C-alpha cells in the first residue's frame, strides 16, 4: 500500500466510524460500546505516537506517561481550574507535549555515549520527576487533584460521550496518518536505518540527530493532544492516576504485540489489548490486568519480538475470514456478548494466522548462484556506474587534506601532527602496526570523531565541527572493518538507502534501480533479495563497498576491508576495488597486507604510534629503513 | 547547624541508595542484565520484613535469616531464567519491566495499596536516636548506613580479592575469553544474581525500618537509584557507594538551602550533567576505555 492510498483508506474509515459514532443513539449502539471504542482509539493514538521514535528508530521510551500527563494537566489547569476553552486546551496540550519531547530529545540525543538502555532509563525517570513537581506545586496539582467538570458540547458533536469518542477518533486518525506518511517517506527509511545501524546510517548521510528529534517531537505532540482529551475522559486528574507505570507499559505492550516496525502494528495491538483489558475488568479480573500485561510483555520479548503484524500480513485474508466467521457466529448464537464475541474472534484470527504462518513450508531464501567464470569475463563497461561528471573528474587539485591533525584520547596521543593530502584518482594505502592510529584517522576523515587540533578539508571544504552526515555529503564514504549492514533490509535496500541519503538523493524506487548498478559493480546482484544475515564475511564486505559507492562519494575510505578473507576472496575484492577506482573515486585503504597494497596502491602513507613516518610511492616506502624498523623492530648489528 | 544536620542525614540515607543501587549495578556491569525487577525484590524484602516482624514478632533485623535466603534463591532463579532464555542487555530491560509490574501488582493484592509500617512495638529501631552534640542521628538511619557500607564495601572486596570475584570481573570484560579459561558463566551468574537478590533483602529490611511501604514505593526509588548506578560507574561498587552518599548529601543540602520542591530537579540536572560530562561514571579512569 503506498502512502496516498493508505491515507485515502484511513480517511474513509475515519469518516465511517465518525458517522457511526455520531449516530450511535439513532442506530441503537450501546453507550458502552462507544466508550470502549473511544478507549481503543485513545490507546491507538498513544501507542502510535510512542512507536514513531521507539518502534521505528528503536529507542524505547518508558516515559510515555509524562506526555499524557502534560496533556491531561493542561486540560486540568486551563479548563478545569481557570475555565478556559476546552478546545483550546487540547492544542496547548499538544504544544507542551512537543516542548517536553524536544527537551528530552535535545538532552538525550546529545549524549555522546547514548545507548538504548540509557535512553530508556532516562525516560523512565522523567515522569517521576514531573510527578514530584506536580505534587508540590499548587498551581499544577498540589496533591489535591483536579475534578474536570463536563464541558459544553457543541451541538453538532452530540452528547459528551460522543464528543470524547469523536475527539479520540480524530486524534487516532491524525496519529495513524502521521505514522503512515512517516513510514513511507525518507524520514521513515532513515529511522529504520537508525534502528538497524545508527553509526553506519549517519556516515551514509542520514541526519540521525535531526530525524530522532523530529520523531520524538511528533510523538510528544500527538501524545500531548490525546492526553488533553484523556483528562475529559477520566474526569479527575491526579498525580496517582497519571504518573503510573501502567500507562507506558500499556503503550509498549500494544506496540510490541502489534509489531513496532510498521505503522499498522500499534493499531492491531490496541484493538487486541484494550478489548482484552475491557473483558478482564468486565469479568471482575481487573487486578489481573497489570499482571497479564506485564507477563505478556516478558513473554513477547522472548517468544515473538517482531509482533503479530508480519504474521497477520502473510495470511491477512485467512485472519480476516476467521475473525468474521467466529465473531458473527458467536454473536448469532445469542449466548455471547458482542464484545466477547469480538475478542474471541480476534484471538482466533491471531491463533489461526500464527499457526498457518508457522506451518507454511519455508523455501530457503532464493539465492541464485553467482555468474560463473572469472570476474574479468564481465565487461567492465557493462557494470561501471555512470561516468563521473566531467567537471569533477578532470578538476585538478586536492580531494583530502590533513594539516597538523592531532587527536588525544584523554592523555593518550592517538594521532600527532599528521599532515598529508590525497589527490584525484589516487589509491592511497594507509599502513602501520596495530595501535598506530589508522582507524582513528579514518574516524576523523569520515567525521565520526573530531580532531583535537589541526584541519581536515574535503575538496577544499573544512569539515571541522560538521556532523558525519554532512561530511558524507561533502564526498566521503567509508566501510567498516566489521560490517554494519541494516539487518532488517534486503541487500538491495541496504544499497538503496545509501543512494536515497547520498549526495545525489533519489526517491526509493529510483534508488532501488540505482542500487542494482552498484550491486553489479561488486558482483552481488544475485543476492539482492537476501537479508544481510545470509551473507558471509566476504559478501558483507562487498555489500559495505556497494553501499559506500552508492552514496556517490569522491573519496572512499576502506577500513581493513580485506581482513579475514581467504586468498581467492582477496583477489576478488582487489578486482572490485579496482573497478570502483575506475569510476573516478579516490580511495584510501587501510590494510595490513603489504603484498596487496604493493599491487593496488599508487601511494603509501605509514603511521607509527600516531605519527606519519613515510609518504611516497609503494616501492620507496616499503624499503624505507624507518618503515622496516616500525614493523620489524631495530636490527641488531 | 541545620545544614550540617541535613548533610549528615543525607549522607546516611545515601548509604541506603547505594545499597539499592549495588545489586542493579553489579548485575548490569557483570552479567549485562538491567534488572528492573531488582526494585521488586527490594519491595518484597521490605514487605517480608514487615510481615515477619508483625506476625511472628521477630526483631526486624533478625528477619534477615528468612528474607536473605529467600531472595537469594529468587534472584538466582531470575538470573538463571535470563540466561536460559538468552535475554540480552536491552531485552532484559523490557522483560524485567514486565516482571516488576507483576511484582508490584501481586504485592498490592497481598498487602493492599495502603501504607504499611511496623508498629513501634515490633520495631525497636524506629524511635531511638544517637546524639552527637547537637546533631541527632536516628538509629534506623544509622543501622542503614552501617549495613550499606559494610555490604557494598564487602562486595567490592569480594569482587577484587577473591578468586570467584576475579572470575566475575574477567567475565564482565570478555565473556568468550573468560569462558575459554574455564569460567562457568551460568554458575557465576546464578551466584551473582542470588547475591544481588540478597542485597535487595537487606535493602528492603532497612527501608522498612524507617519508612512506610506501599506497592508503588519503588517508583520513588527509580530516579535516585538510576542516578547512583550511572554516576558510580556501572559495575563499580566503590563508585556506587561514593555516588550514593554524594547524592544523599546533595539532595539533603538542596532541600534545606532552597526548598524540598527543587530537590528532584537538582538531582535530575546532576544526572544529566554527569551523563554529558562523564558518561562512564564519575570515577572512570580517563582514556579510550
Question: Rounded mean pLDDT of A71-79?
Answer: 94
Choose between A399 and A375: higher pLDDT.
A399
Query: Is residue B287 scored above 50 in pLDDT?
Result: no
- Are B60 and B46 within 8 A, CB to CB? no
Nearest to A302 among B87, B263, B268 (CB): B87
Query: Is residue B285 domain-resident?
Result: no
- CA end-to-end distance (rounded Å), chain A: 76
Q: Is the sign of the CA dihedral B69, B70, B76, B77 positive or negative?
A: positive
| Predicted confidence (pLDDT) per residue in A318-333, tens digit | 899 999 999 999 988 8
Residues of B in contact with A117 (CB under 8 A): 34, 89-90, 93
Nearest to B105 among A118, A287, A411 (CB): A287
- Are A121 and A60 within 8 A, CB to CB? no
Residue B166 phi/psi, 5° resolution?
A: -65, -35
| Integer Cα distance of A141 and A164 in angstroms | 23
Question: What residues 102-121 of chain A have any CB closer than 8 A to a CB of chain B?
Answer: 107, 110-113, 116-118, 120-121
Contact across the interface for B263 and A132, Cβ inside 8 Å: yes
| Predicted confidence (pLDDT) per residue in A472-506, tens digit | 999 999 999 889 999 999 999 999 999 999 888 88
pLDDT for A46: 96
- Are A448 and A463 within 8 A, CB to CB? no
- Looking at every residue in chain A, the average pLDDT score rounds to 87
**CATH of residue B43:** 1.10.3470
User: C-alpha angle A177/A183/A189, rounded to 5°?
Assistant: 160
Question: Rounded mean pLDDT of A51-74?
Answer: 93
pLDDT for A112: 67
- Are A488 and A537 within 8 A, CB to CB? no
pLDDT for A74: 95
Q: Distance of alpha carbon A617 from its chain centroid, rounded? A: 43
Taking any CB pair shorter than 8 Å as contact, residues of chain B touching chain A are 34, 85, 87, 89-91, 93-95, 97-102, 104-106, 108-109, 216, 219-220, 222-223, 226-227, 230, 260-261, 263-265, 267-268, 271-272, 275-276, 279-280, 286-288
Contact across the interface for B102 and A295, Cβ inside 8 Å: yes
Report the residue count for chain A: 637
Choose between A353 and A187: higher pLDDT.
A187
| Integer Cα distance of B173 and B169 in angstroms | 6
| Integer Cα distance of B57 and B199 in angstroms | 23
- Cell digits for B74? 529468587
pLDDT for A362: 56
Neighbours of A517 (CB within 10 A): 18
User: C-alpha angle A599/A604/A606, rounded to 5°?
Assistant: 135
Structural domain containing residue B249: 2-118+130-277
Closest residue in chain B to residue A112, using alpha carbons only:
B276
Number of structural domains in chain A: 2
Q: Which of A333-337, A633-637, B123-127, B253-257 has the lowest mean pLDDT?
A: A633-637
| Integer Cα distance of B75 and B189 in angstroms | 10
pLDDT for A270: 95
For residue A361, name the pLDDT band (cuts at 50, 70, 90): low
Query: Is residue B39 scored above 70 in pLDDT?
Result: yes
Contact across the interface for A294 and B98, Cβ inside 8 Å: yes
Highest mean pLDDT among A49-58, A360-369, A379-388, B279-288: A49-58
Helix (H) or strand (E) holding A378: none
Query: Is residue A532 scored above 80 in pLDDT?
Result: yes
Structural domain containing residue A393: 388-632
| Integer Cα distance of B184 and A160 in angstroms | 63
Choose between B268 and A537: higher pLDDT.
A537
Residues of B in contact with A107 (CB under 8 A): 272, 276
Question: What residues 255-314 of chain A have any CB closer than 8 A to a CB of chain B?
Answer: 256, 287, 290-291, 293-298, 301-302, 305
Gap from A611 CA to chain B (nearest CA, Å): 18
For residue A376, name the pLDDT band (cuts at 50, 70, 90): very low
Contact across the interface for B95 and A297, Cβ inside 8 Å: yes
- Residue after which a domain boundary falls, among A228, A244, A260: A244
- Residue after which a domain boundary falls, among A244, A268, A301: A244
User: C-alpha angle A428/A429/A430, rounded to 5°?
Assistant: 115
**Which residues on adjacent β-strands are paired with residue A602?**
none
pLDDT for A226: 96
Question: What residues 371-410 of chain A have any CB closer than 8 A to a CB of chain B?
Answer: 409-410
Q: Which of A372-381, A494-503, A568-577, B216-225 has the lowest mean pLDDT?
A: A372-381
pLDDT for B183: 74
| Integer Cα distance of A530 and A365 in angstroms | 7
Number of structural domains in chain B: 1
| Integer Cα distance of A56 and A214 in angstroms | 12
Tell me whether strands B129-132 and B135-138 are parallel, antiparallel or unpaired: antiparallel
Tell me whether strands A146-147 and A427-431 are parallel, antiparallel or unpaired: unpaired
pLDDT for B283: 67
**CATH of residue A576:** 3.40.50.300
CB neighbour class for A333 (10 Å; exposed up to 12, middle 13-18, buried from 19): exposed
Q: Which of A40-44, A335-339, A494-498, A544-548 has the lowest mean pLDDT?
A: A335-339
Contact across the interface for A301 and B91, Cβ inside 8 Å: yes
Query: Is residue A262 scored above 50 in pLDDT?
Result: yes
pLDDT for B257: 80
Q: What percent of chain B has pLDDT over 90?
A: 16
Q: What is the dihedral of CA A53, A58, A60, A61, to 10 degrees?
A: -10
| Integer Cα distance of A603 and A43 in angstroms | 61
Gap from A242 CA to chain B (nearest CA, Å): 13
Coil, helix or strand at residue B93: helix
Q: What percent of chain A has pLDDT over 90?
A: 48
Q: Which of A212-226, A561-575, B115-129 has the lowest mean pLDDT?
A: B115-129
pLDDT for B279: 64
Query: Is residue A561 scored above 90 in pLDDT?
Result: no
Residue A58 DSSP symbol: -
Residues near B68 by beta carbon (within 8 Å), at least 6 away in sequence = B198, B201, B202
pLDDT for A565: 85
pLDDT for A381: 46
Residues of B in contact with A410 (CB under 8 A): 286-288
Gap from A159 CA to chain B (nearest CA, Å): 36
pLDDT for A516: 92
Residue A377 DSSP symbol: G
Q: What percent of chain A has pLDDT over 70?
A: 93
| Integer Cα distance of B13 and B289 in angstroms | 32
Contact across the interface for B271 and A132, Cβ inside 8 Å: no
Test mutation, B98, B221, B265, chain A, max A CBs within 10 A: B98
Residues of A in contact with B267 (CB under 8 A): 129
Gap from A114 CA to chain B (nearest CA, Å): 8
Contact across the interface for B91 and A305, Cβ inside 8 Å: yes
Query: Is residue A274 domain-resident?
Result: no
Coil, helix or strand at residue A455: strand
Contact across the interface for A129 and B223, Cβ inside 8 Å: yes
Helix (H) or strand (E) holding B17: helix B2-31
Closest residue in chain A to residue B289, using alpha carbons only:
A409
pLDDT for A495: 95
pLDDT for B286: 38
| Integer Cα distance of B137 and A332 in angstroms | 72
Question: Rounded mean pLDDT of A535-553?
Answer: 92
- Are B274 and B231 within 8 A, CB to CB? yes
Query: Is residue B32 domain-resident?
Result: yes
Query: Is residue A155 domain-resident?
Result: yes
What is the DSSP annotation of A456-523? EEETTEE-TT--HHHHHHHTEEEE-SS----TTS-HHHHHHHHHHHSSS---HHHHHHHHHHHHHHTT
| Predicted confidence (pLDDT) per residue in A402-459, tens digit | 999 999 887 788 899 999 999 988 999 998 888 888 889 999 999 988 999 999 999 8
pLDDT for B252: 84
Residues near A572 by beta carbon (within 8 Å), at least 6 away in sequence = A375, A523, A538
| Integer Cα distance of A287 and B101 in angstroms | 12
- Cell digits for B195? 547475591
pLDDT for A105: 92
Question: Rounded mean pLDDT of A300-307?
Answer: 81
Contact across the interface for B268 and A137, Cβ inside 8 Å: no
ipTM score assigned to the predicted complex = 0.81
pLDDT for A363: 52
- CA end-to-end distance (rounded Å), chain B: 43
| Predicted confidence (pLDDT) per residue in B242-285, tens digit | 989 988 888 888 888 877 667 777 777 777 777 666 666 666 64
For residue A153, name the pLDDT band (cuts at 50, 70, 90): confident
Residues of B in contact with A132 (CB under 8 A): 263-264
| Predicted confidence (pLDDT) per residue in A271-294, tens digit | 999 998 888 888 877 778 888 888
Q: Is the sign of the CA dihedral A438, A439, A440, A444 positive or negative?
A: positive
CB neighbour class for B233 (10 Å; exposed up to 12, middle 13-18, buried from 19): buried
Q: Is the sign of the CA dihedral B160, B232, B43, A284 positive or negative?
A: negative
A60 reaches B (C-beta below 8 A):
yes
- Are B275 and A111 within 8 A, CB to CB? yes
Query: Is residue A385 scored above 70 in pLDDT?
Result: no
For residue A76, name the pLDDT band (cuts at 50, 70, 90): very high
pLDDT for A472: 93
Question: Rounded mean pLDDT of B55-66?
Answer: 85
pLDDT for B70: 93
Residues near A467 by beta carbon (within 8 Å), at least 6 away in sequence = A202, A207, A209, A447
Amino acid at each position: 500500500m503506498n502512502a496516498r492510498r493508505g491515507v485515502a483508506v484511513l480517511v474513509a474509515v475515519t469518516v465511517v466510524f465518525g458517522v457511526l459514532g455520531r449516530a450511535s443513539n439513532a442506530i441503537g449502539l450501546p453507550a458502552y460500546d462507544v466508550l470502549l471504542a473511544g478507549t481503543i482509539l485513545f490507546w491507538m493514538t498513544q501507542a502510535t505516537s510512542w512507536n514513531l521514535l521507539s518502534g521505528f528508530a528503536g529507542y524505547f521510551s518508558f516515559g510515555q506517561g509524562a506526555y499524557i500527563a502534560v496533556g491531561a494537566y493542561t486540560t486540568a489547569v486551563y479548563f478545569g481550574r481557570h475555565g478556559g476553552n476546552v478546545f483550546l486546551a487540547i492544542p496547548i496540550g499538544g504544544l507542551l507535549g512537543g516542548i517536553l519531547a524536544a527537551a528530552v530529545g535535545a538532552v538525550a540525543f546529545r549524549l555522546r555515549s547514548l545507548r538504548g538502555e540509557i535512553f530508556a532509563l532516562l525516560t523512565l525517570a522523567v515522569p517521576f520527576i514531573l510527578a514530584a513537581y506536580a505534587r508540590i506545586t499548587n498551581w499544577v496539582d498540589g496533591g489535591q487533584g483536579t475534578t474536570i467538570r463536563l464541558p459544553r458540547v457543541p451541538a453538532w458533536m452530540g452528547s459528551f460521550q460522543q464528543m470524547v469518542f469523536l475527539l479520540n477518533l480524530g486524534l487516532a486518525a491524525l496519529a495513524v496518518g502521521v505514522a503512515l506518511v512517516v513510514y513511507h517517506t525518507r524520514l521513515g527509511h532513515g529511522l529504520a536505518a537508525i534502528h538497524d545501524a545508527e553509526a553506519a546510517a549517519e556516515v551514509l548521510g542520514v541526519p540521525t540527530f535531526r530525524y530522532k528529534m523530529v520523531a520524538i517531537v511528533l510523538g510528544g505532540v500527538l501524545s500531548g493532544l490525546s492526553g488533553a482529551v484523556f483528562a475529559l475522559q477520566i474526569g479527575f486528574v491526579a498525580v496517582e492516576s497519571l504518573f503510573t507505570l501502567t500507562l507506558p507499559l500499556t503503550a509498549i505492550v500494544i506496540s510490541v504485540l502489534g509489531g513496532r516496525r510498521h505503522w499498522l502494528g500499534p493499531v492491531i495491538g490496541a484493538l487486541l489489548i484494550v478489548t482484552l483489558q475491557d473483558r478482564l475488568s468486565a469479568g471482575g479480573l481487573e487486578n489481573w490486568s497489570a499482571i497479564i500485561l506485564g507477563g505478556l510483555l516478558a513473554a513477547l520479548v522472548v517468544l515473538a519480538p517482531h509482533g503479530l503484524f508480519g504474521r497477520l500480513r502473510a495470511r491477512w485474508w485467512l485472519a480476516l475470514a476467521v475473525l468474521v466467521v467466529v465473531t458473527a457466529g458467536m454473536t448469532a448464537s445469542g449466548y455471547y456478548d458482542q464484545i466477547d464475541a469480538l475478542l474471541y474472534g480476534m484471538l482466533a484470527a491471531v491463533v489461526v494466522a500464527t499457526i498457518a504462518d508457522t506451518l507454511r513450508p519455508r523455501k530457503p531464501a532464493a539465492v541464485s548462484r553467482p555468474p560463473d567464470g572469472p570476474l574479468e569475463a564481465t565487461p567492465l563497461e557493462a557494470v561501471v556506474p555512470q561516468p563521473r561528471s566531467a567537471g569533477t573528474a578532470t578538476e585538478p587539485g586536492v580531494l583530502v587534506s590533513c594539516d597538523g591533525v592531532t587527536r588525544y584520547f584523554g592523555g593518550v596521543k592517538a594521532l600527532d601532527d599528521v599532515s598529508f593530502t590525497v589527490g584525484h584518482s589516487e589509491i592511497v594505502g594507509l599502513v602501520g602496526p596495530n595501535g598506530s592510529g589508522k582507524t582513528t584517522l579514518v574516524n576523523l576523515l569520515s567525521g565520526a570523531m573530531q580532531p583535537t587540533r589541526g584541519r581536515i578539508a574535503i575538496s577544499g571544504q573544512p569539515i571541522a565541527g560538521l556532523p558525519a552526515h554532512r561530511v558524507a555529503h561533502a564526498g566521503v564514504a567509508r566501510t567498516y572493518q566489521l560490517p554494519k549492514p541494516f539487518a532488517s533490509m534486503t541487500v538491495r535496500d541496504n544499497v538503496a538507502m545509501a543512494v536515497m541519503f547520498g549526495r545525489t538523493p533519489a526517491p526509493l524506487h529510483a534508488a532501488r534501480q540505482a542500487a542494482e548498478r552498484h550491486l553489479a559493480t561488486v558482483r552481488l546482484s544475485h543476492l539482492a533479495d537476501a537479508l544481510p544475515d545470509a551473507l558471509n564475511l566476504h559478501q558483507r564486505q562487498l555489500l559495505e563497498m556497494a553501499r559506500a559507492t552508492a552514496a556517490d562519494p569522491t573519496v572512499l575510505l576502506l577500513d581493513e576491508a580485506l581482513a579475514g578473507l581467504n586468498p581467492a576472496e582477496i583477489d576478488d575484492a582487489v578486482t572490485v576495488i579496482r573497478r570502483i577506482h575506475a569510476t573516478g573515486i579516490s580511495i584510501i585503504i587501510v590494510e595490513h597486507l603489504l603484498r596487496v597494497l604493493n599491487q593496488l596502491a599508487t601511494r603509501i602513507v605509514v603511521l607509527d604510534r600516531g605519527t606519519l613516518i613515510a609518504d611516497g610511492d609503494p616501492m620507496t616506502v616499503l624499503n624505507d629503513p624507518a618503515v622496516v624498523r616500525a614493523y620489524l623492530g631495530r636490527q641488531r648489528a | 547547624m541545620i545544614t550540617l544536620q541535613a548533610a549528615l542525614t543525607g549522607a546516611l540515607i545515601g548509604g541506603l541508595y547505594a545499597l539499592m543501587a549495588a545489586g542493579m549495578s553489579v548485575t548490569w556491569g557483570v552479567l549485562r542484565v538491567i534488572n528492573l525487577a531488582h526494585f521488586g525484590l527490594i519491595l518484597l524484602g521490605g514487605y517480608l520484613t514487615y510481615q515477619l516482624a508483625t506476625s511472628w514478632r521477630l526483631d526486624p533485623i533478625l528477619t534477615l535469616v528468612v528474607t536473605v535466603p529467600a531472595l537469594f534463591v529468587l534472584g538466582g532463579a531470575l538470573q538463571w531464567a535470563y540466561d536460559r532464555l538468552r535475554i540480552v542487555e536491552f531485552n532484559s530491560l523490557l522483560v524485567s519491566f514486565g516482571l516488576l509490574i507483576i511484582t508490584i501488582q501481586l504485592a498490592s493484592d497481598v498487602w493492599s495499596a495502603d501504607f504499611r509500617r511496623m508498629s513501634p512495638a515490633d520495631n525497636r529501631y524506629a524511635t531511638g536516636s544517637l546524639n552527637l552534640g547537637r546533631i541527632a542521628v536516628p538509629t534506623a538511619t544509622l543501622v542503614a548506613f552501617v549495613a550499606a557500607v559494610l555490604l557494598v564495601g564487602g562486595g567490592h572486596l569480594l569482587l577484587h580479592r577473591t578468586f570467584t570475584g576475579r572470575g566475575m570481573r574477567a567475565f564482565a570484560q570478555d565473556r568468550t575469553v573468560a569462558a575459554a579459561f574455564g569460567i562457568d558463566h551460568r554458575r557465576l551468574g546464578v551466584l551473582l544474581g542470588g547475591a544481588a537478590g540478597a542485597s535487595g533483602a537487606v535493602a528492603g529490611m532497612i527501608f522498612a525500618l524507617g519508612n512506610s511501604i506501599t506497592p508503588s514505593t519503588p517508583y520513588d526509588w527509580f530516579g535516585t537509584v538510576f542516578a547512583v548506578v550511572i554516576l558510580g560507574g556501572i559495575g563499580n561498587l566503590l563508585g556506587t557507594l561514593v555516588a550514593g552518599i554524594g547524592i544523599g548529601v546533595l539532595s539533603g543540602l538542596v532541600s534545606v538551602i532552597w526548598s524540598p520542591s527543587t530537590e528532584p530537579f537538582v538531582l535530575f540536572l546532576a544526572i544529566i550533567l554527569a551523563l554529558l560530562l562523564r558518561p562512564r561514571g564519575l570515577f572512570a579512569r580517563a582514556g579510550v576505555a
